[in-house]
Structure 1
Amino acid sequence: MEWIFRRPLKEVSMFTSFKFFNYRLVFTYSSLMSVAGWGHAVSIDWLVLDLTHSSTALGNMVGIQLAPYIFISLVGGTIADRFNKKNFLRLVCVLNALIAALLFALYYYGHLTYAILAIIVVIHGTLNATESPVRNSLSLEVVDKENMANVMGLNSLTFNLGRLMGTLTAGLLIAHFDNGTPWLVFTFLYIAIALLLNRLKVEEIPVAQFGKAKPGKMIDALRYLQKSPIIFLSMTLAAVFFGLGMHFGQTSSLMVKNIFLKDASYLGYIGIAVAGGSAIGAALASRWSVPGHAPQLTTLLKSGILVAIFWMASAFAQNFWLYAILACVASIFHLTFMVTSNGLVAASAPEDFRGRIYGIYLCIFYIGSCAGGLLVGALAQNLGVRQAIFIGGAATFLISATCLVWFRSKSKTTSR
């Protein structure tokens, strides 16, 4: 691992931020929201394939799911900087519960078509696009500054705990019942999450004027990023690589159904493999994220090279279990990549417009994810699923290696 990280780092407990009650609560909230979010996504993907049997239709639905994030995340960033986060997140949970209940009812009574599903997905995506910057900003406000790097690693862990449980739960429910059952389960989960937020102790949050409107414009954050090209580069690389399939979400659905000819329960097994690797990566990043440590761009690029190698290898897997193992290993470096990218953003963002910085980050991220989903779907439909996976990994390898050579050359020139 020393090749990835610039220098050996002093290890600390990966759960050092758990000493803060509010962060323990936010961690639980984020994990449960991730469970529901991944379960929702798996249910959508599997239903689309059942309705259309088309990789292109799945790619289009992925694009539809992510499109609202491109613009609405900027609104979420402004909300994070101006309004009471606790009340806003509770409202999001209640609305998510209503959407899940509606999806279950439409499916149960046989009225859920591709077109109706697309409309509901846009509404759901719009709602959650405003939630992400608020949640990320809140997680950093409930700890002191020296623990922010550790929080970024733990936040990635919540994402992957949710991916593990959400994918597994939805896959098993679909396999043993039907495609609508997960939405009924997640309806009650969203209600429970909303009640959980009542325990947030606002008086213990150290950020000044928490929950009160503050002046600020998006242009302030844009001007800041203009002066920080490395931060903008890390945002862009994360968006491009994720869109090409680094998260093994869309491509795994295609591999399981179209290549290995397995049922939905095997998506749960893939979820276990990917989330297991991701949890290892997040745990390593959390242990190495000691107080005062600044994330490095070289760590980001080296992680990109390593994830690409195993990513490309997975395209040639001849059986399901080998594919799952390769996806697991690739996911370790996927997480060191994403934690470093998130850490670069968190470490640089000033407190008074951190939400807007995150909003811009998510906007860029979902532009890449949306375009990538459409591209991967088209490649899989026209060239084949394996070819689409290999092309994504190869592009990631070439971009990461080129940027690493460029950055090292620039650093040597600057040091002279």
Structure 2
Amino acid sequence: MNISTFNAFKSRNYRLYFTGQSISLVGTWMQKTAVSWVVYDLTHSEFMLGLSLFASMFPSFLFSFLGGVAADRYNRFNLLIATQVASMIQAVLVTALVFWGHYVVWEIIALSAVLGFINAFDVPARQSLVYEMVNSKADLPNALALNSSMVNLSRLVGPGIAGLVLEKFGDTVCFGANALSFIAVIGSLLMMRLPKAETKKHDKNIFFELKEGFTYINNTPSIKFVIIMLSLISLMVLPFSTMIPVYAKDIFKGTASTFGVIDSVIGLGAFSGAIYLASLKPGHNLKKILAINTLIFGGGLVIFSHMPSYPLALLFAAITGFGMMSQITISNTLIQTTVSPEMRGRVISFYAMAFFGMQPLGGLLVGAVSQWIGTQDTVMLEGGVALLIGLLHFRFLRRSKLKKVTQPTLEQQPINTLA
């Protein structure tokens, strides 16, 4: 780790955002952990775990297009404040529901769907606004990598705290802590000093702007490939996380704390990977790193799936987390450093659709497959898919390099052999 690891912290606005969001994300992961545990405890059904993931993320898939257009058309800061307040209200409603004790699993799932709708507008606004928070745009990749470290550190800390709180104090405290955590992020946003947003004229309708975003992506092969690969990973690999309660309770014969430990170890691996990315100096081939880490992701998952030893399973869970982190962070970095500013919100909405939209469908798929072939074989199959996608990344890299070498020759231009 070196000084450049924290270059983005030179920007006051980013420091405020990082601090507030870090606190809020710990609460978010506490709530996610509590929801998974409550759903499985009520139903003892792997399919219902998949359904709960579907409910929390599929609305983001349906409405992220509108969220992207909104991020490009309107003041992103005001939109982010609105989504954070709405998320806080959702957390308060979940807390109240659990506190009164008279609830069924469908009510928890319905409120998770409400949060998914809010996230459809939150993610494009929040990711686009990071660009405006850093004073030097050269620090943007570092800021995005630090964002990932923040997310994964919260994934490390949040589930572990949630597991202990669930055992000692109950689920109401988990949900209540998340509601209170939004005070930090809303307060940090209000303390920022962002440049005054320019008033934008909206002479095009929303559907035309959606079409513009889709056309832009289709005509930019590097962005299109990244989004397609992220879609496949989100659909067929990332939903392995819905099976973690099964590993904790049925395979390793543990409790809520066991669930929290496994989830936290995955977060530890992801956090380590994010810090590694933040420490990279400019000039590294992120596409190659993404390909390698996708193979690490798949290999770790395959070994974890049937590992009978709990300590060794935790080790390979951490390796899995390390590889998993790149799918989100590097994909986001490649998109944000390539996309035109006027298209940023819409392109990020497609990125959000790939990440949030495919996972819920994958959650249903994984839940159904696990009922048929078993949890461990399902997770092993997901790891195999990740290995295949990693090989596709290398194939795309090789073809892109060949194209860069041959294309200038056809035009009788000097050859640039740099990747």
TM-score normalised according to structure 1 size: 0.90
What's 1:223 paired with? 215
Instruction: Give the Cα separation in 1 of the matches to 2:294 and 2:78.
Output: 38
Displacement, 1:76?
1.9
1:325 and 2:315 correspond: yes
Which residue is 1:334 aligned to? 324
- Tell me what 1:4 maps to: none
Task: Return the offset for 1:22.
Answer: 0.3
Identify which range, 275-284 or 329-338, moves more after superposition. 329-338
Alignment of 1:175-214 (within 5 A): 175-203=167-195, 210=197, 212-214=199-201
Pairwise CA distance, 1:294: 7.0
Q: 2-side partners of 1:116 and 1:202: how far apart?
A: 39
Tell me how far 1:248 sits from its aligned partner.
5.2
Q: Which residue of 1 aligns with 2:365?
A: 375
2:18 corresponds, among 24, 27, 40, to: 27
Output one character per residue of 1:243-297: Cα deviation in whole Å (capped at 9) or x when no partner. 334475312222112211211112222233122211111111111152xx47543
**Secondary structure, aligned partner of 1:356:** helix
Is there any run of 5+ residues in structure 1 with no aligned partner, and where?
1-9, 204-208
Q: Which amino acid aligns with 1:384?
A: G
Query: What residue is the counterpart of 1:302 in the other structure?
Result: 292
Alignment match, 2:59: 68
Deviation at 1:385, TM superposition (A): 1.2
Give the one of 119, 122, 128 matched to 2:110: 119
Are residues 1:287 and 2:274 paired? no
Q: Does the alignment pair 1:140 with 2:131?
A: yes
Amino acid at match of 1:302: I
SS in 1 for 2:139: helix
| Alpha-carbon distance in 2 for matches of 1:346, 1:394 | 29
Which whole-Å CA distance do the structure 2 matches of 1:405 and 1:88 have between them?
40
Percent of residue pairs identical = 26
**Could you say if the C-alpha distance between residues 372 and 211 of structure 1 is closer, same or farther in structure 2, counting changes exceeding 3 Å?**
farther
The residue aligned with 2:46 is 55
The alignment's TM-score, normalised by the length of structure 2, stands at 0.89
Residue in structure 1 matching 2:350, options 360, 364, 367: 360
User: Any conservation in 1 of the 2:21–2:185 contact (CA below 8 Å)?
Assistant: no
The aligned amino acid for 2:290 is: L
Q: CA deviation at 1:141?
A: 1.3
Task: Tell me how far apart the structure 1 counterparts of residues 193 and 177 of structure 2 sit (CA, whole Å).
Answer: 28
Deviates more, 1:246-255 or 1:261-270: 246-255
Relative to structure 1, the CA distance from residue 32 to residue 220 in structure 2 (aligned partners, 3 Å threshold; closer, same or farther) is farther
RMSD value, Cα: 2.2
Is residue 73–residue 129 contact of structure 1 (8 Å, CA) maintained in 2? yes
- Residues 39, 243 of structure 1: alpha-carbon distance in 2 compared, 3 angstrom cutoff: farther
* Distance verdict in 2 for CA 1:247–1:159, change over 3 Å: farther
CA change 1:33–1:350 in 2 (3 A) is: farther
What is the letter of the counterpart of residue 306 of structure 1?
A: I
Task: For residue 179 of structure 1, report the CA deviation from its aligned partner.
Answer: 1.9
What SS is found at the alignment partner of 2:5?
Answer: coil
List runs of 5+ in structure 2 lacking aligned partners. 407-419
Q: Return the alpha-carbon distance in structure 1 between the equivalents of residues 11 and 17 of structure 2.
A: 10
| 1:38-94 Cα deviation digits (max 9, x unpaired) | 222111111110111000111111111111110222222222223233333233232
Name the structure 2 match of 1:241.
233
Aligned pair in 2 of structure 1 residues 221, 387: CA closer, same or farther (>3 Å)? Answer: same
8 A Cα contact 2:47 2:367, kept in partner: yes
